[in-house]
């Protein structure tokens, strides 16, 4: 079965390739929501699903993978920053606190009338950040396309501790995804991505 990644994220494509899979990349132009009346998990699920269904409508016989990652601190959801001032605000808010990174995943094949959705949550503790730390990070990393205005795998270290899937914070929960793909007859190899280690 042909596999399509419904995402423009180079990080997700790299993660998926680490499973030894061949796939096409077809980004979508659908609008993402940043609030949901039920739960923050449903925000990520909704966005992942609309991306996957948008592509699946045009490729009925393919297995389409949609995903969306959000950062949650308390009751506030951090999507992609509007600009660098918004990125500074996000990083100041996350400084010294533990937040959740939630990725929603949707797998769908319209031709087989099959759909599967799930979320994975990772808890991430930031070290305390000074204004100078934040400016150094913003100078080193392009953050405007990243939820929460950071990428765990790029730039000066921000993270003191992590509980859960490292690849989930990057953009795809590979451990769970590989297991789900096997249910569709897609045999994904074990990822070479190193499991989470605290950054010091």
* Bridge partner residues of 98 (DSSP): 125
Average pLDDT for 87-108? 97
* pLDDT for 188: 80
Handedness of CA 13, 16, 18, 20 (dihedral sign): negative
* pLDDT for 35: 65
Q: Express each pLDDT in 154-190 by its tens digit.
A: 999 999 999 999 999 999 999 999 999 999 999 887 6
24 pLDDT exceeds 50?
Answer: yes
Q: Tell me phi and psi for residue 162, to 5 degrees.
A: -145, 135
Annotated catalytic residue, options 31, 54, 61, 68: 68
* pLDDT for 39: 86
Average pLDDT for 8-27? 93
Domains in the chain, start-ordered, CATH in brackets?
Answer: 3-183 (3.90.950.10)
38 pLDDT exceeds 90?
Answer: no
Consecutive H or E run containing 169: helix 166-170
Q: Is 139 a catalytic residue?
A: no
How many Cα atoms sit within 13 Å of 114 on the Cβ side? 14
Q: Which of 28-42, 136-150, 176-190 shows the lowest per-residue confidence on average (mean pLDDT)?
A: 28-42
Contact 63, 121 (CB under 8 A): no
Separation CA 162–CA 82 (nearest Å) = 26
Q: Tell me what the pLDDT averaged over the chain comes to.
A: 91
198 pLDDT exceeds 90?
Answer: no
Contact 113, 92 (CB under 8 A): no
Contact 67, 12 (CB under 8 A): yes
Separation CA 129–CA 82 (nearest Å) = 21
196 pLDDT exceeds 60?
Answer: no
DSSP designation for 62: S
Smallest CA-to-CA distance from 148 within 79, 96, 93 is with: 79
The helix/strand/coil state of 119 is strand
Q: What is the pTM of this model?
A: 0.89
């Amino acid at each position: 079965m042909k596999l399509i990644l419904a995402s423009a994220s180079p990080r997700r494509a790299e993660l998926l390739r680490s499973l030894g899979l061949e796939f096409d990349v077809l980004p979508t132009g659908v609008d993402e929501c940043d609030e949901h009346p039920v739960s923050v998990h449903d925000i990520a699920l909704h966005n992942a699903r609309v991306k996957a269904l948008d592509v699946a409508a045009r490729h009925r016989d393919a297995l389409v993978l949609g995903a969306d990652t959000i950062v949650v601190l308390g009751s506030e959801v951090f999507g992609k920053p509007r600009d660098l001032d918004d990125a500074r605000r996000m990083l100041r808010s996350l400084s010294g606190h533990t937040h959740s990174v939630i990725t929603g995943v949707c797998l769908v094949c319209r031709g087989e009338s099959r759909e599967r959705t799930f979320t994975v949550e990772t808890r991430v503790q930031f070290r305390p950040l000074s204004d100078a730390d934040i400016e150094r990070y913003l100078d080193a990393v392009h953050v405007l396309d990243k939820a929460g205005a950071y990428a765990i795998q790029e730039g000066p270290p921000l993270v003191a501790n992590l509980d859960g899937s490292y690849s989930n914070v990057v953009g795809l929960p590979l451990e769970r995804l590989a297991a789900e793909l096997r249910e569709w007859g897609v045999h994904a190899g074990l990822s070479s991505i190193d499991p989470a280690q605290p950054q010091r």
